[in-house]
Structure 1
Amino acid sequence: MSKTISTHHALIYVMVTTAGVQGDIGDRELKAIGRIVKQLPIFRAFDADKLTHVAQECGEILQDKEGLEAVFGLAAEALTPKLRETAYALAVEIAASDLAVGKEELRFLAMLRDHLGLDKLVTAAIERGAIARYQTE
C-alpha cells in the first residue's frame, strides 16, 4: 500500500493547517515553518525550494468542505507512530510561534491529537515543552 503523500508533505500540511486555523497565516508562523523546514533533521532530504508549492497544495485541499478531514487523513496515513508525535510537536511549535494560542488552535490541536491517535500524556509533555521555550517571564 503506497502513501498518497510523502512524510515531508504530511508534516508541512500539519504546520500549514495549524498556521491557518485562525483564518490567516501570520509572518511569524510563516517564518517558523521556513525555519523548521531548513533546520530539522527530518527535512534533510526535502528541497526547501518546494515549500511554497507544498503549502499551496495544502491550501487547495483545505478549500474543500471536507478539507480538514482530508488533511488529517493524509497525515495519519503518511506518518509512522513516532512521526505522528513529531507532527504534533511541529503543530504546537507553529501555534506557539506568534506567542498567543487561541481557542481555535487549542481545538485544532485536540482534533489533531485524536486523529493521529496520540496519547494525552505525550501531547501534554510536548505542549509543556513549548510553553517553556516561549515563556517570556
Structure 2
Amino acid sequence: MTTDAHGALIYTMVLASVADTNMTDAELETLSEMVRFLPVFRDFDVARMPDLTRDCIDLLQEDDGIDRALDIISEVLPEHLHETAYAIACDVVAADGSASQPELRLLELMRDRFGVDRLVASAIERSSGARHRTL
C-alpha cells in the first residue's frame, strides 16, 4: 500500500480517530475542517478522501496494521511535516473533549515514530486541548 504526503496525513487523522474504536461526529468534523482549511491540504483533491480513509481502515484490520500505518506515514511524509502530522493527530484526539488511554498510547507511538521532541509534543498537546475546549 503506497500513498503520498497528503495520503499520509489523512492516514494520521484516521488512525487518531479510530484509536479508541469510535470515530465520533466531533472527530469527523475536525477531519473535514482540517482538510478544508489547513495550508498543508491546499493542493489536496478532496475526492480522494473516502478511498484513503477506507484504505487506512482496511490496513488497520490487519494484525500489525497500526505499525504498518505508522511505517507508511513516517516513510512517506517529509521530515518537516512530522510535527504537523503529530499536531493533526492531537487535534483529532482533542476534538471530542477527552483522550482515552488507547488514543494517548497512539499519540505516544506517533511521537516516537515521528521523532517529535517531548517538549515540542507537550506544547502541541497543550495547544490542541486549548483549541478544542468548550464553554
Give TM-score scaled by structure 2 length.
Answer: 0.94
The answer to whether the 8 Å contact 2:91/2:129 transfers is no
**Matching residue of 1:116:** 114
**Matching residue of 2:102:** 104
**Matching residue of 1:21:** 19
TM superposition shift of 1:135: 2.8
Q: Structure 2: how far apart are the matches of 1:132 and 1:63?
A: 32
**Matching residue of 1:60:** 58
Q: Structure 2: how far apart are the matches of 1:106 and 1:25?
A: 15
**Matching residue of 1:39:** 37
Amino acid at match of 2:88: L
The alignment covers a number of residue pairs equal to: 134
TM superposition shift of 1:88: 0.2
Query: Unpaired segments of 5 or more residues in structure 2?
Result: none
RMSD: 1.1
Q: Structure 2: how far apart are the matches of 1:41 and 1:133?
A: 18
Alpha-carbon deviations, 1:49-95, whole Å to 9, x = none?
Answer: 22111100101111110110001000100112220100000000000
Give TM-score scaled by structure 1 length.
Answer: 0.93
TM superposition shift of 1:14: 0.6
- Which runs of structure 2 are paired with 1:70-89 in the superposition (5 Å)? 70-89=68-87
TM superposition shift of 1:19: 0.2
Q: Structure 1: how far apart are the matches of 2:76 and 2:116?
A: 15
TM superposition shift of 1:26: 1.2
The answer to whether the 8 Å contact 2:12/2:73 transfers is yes
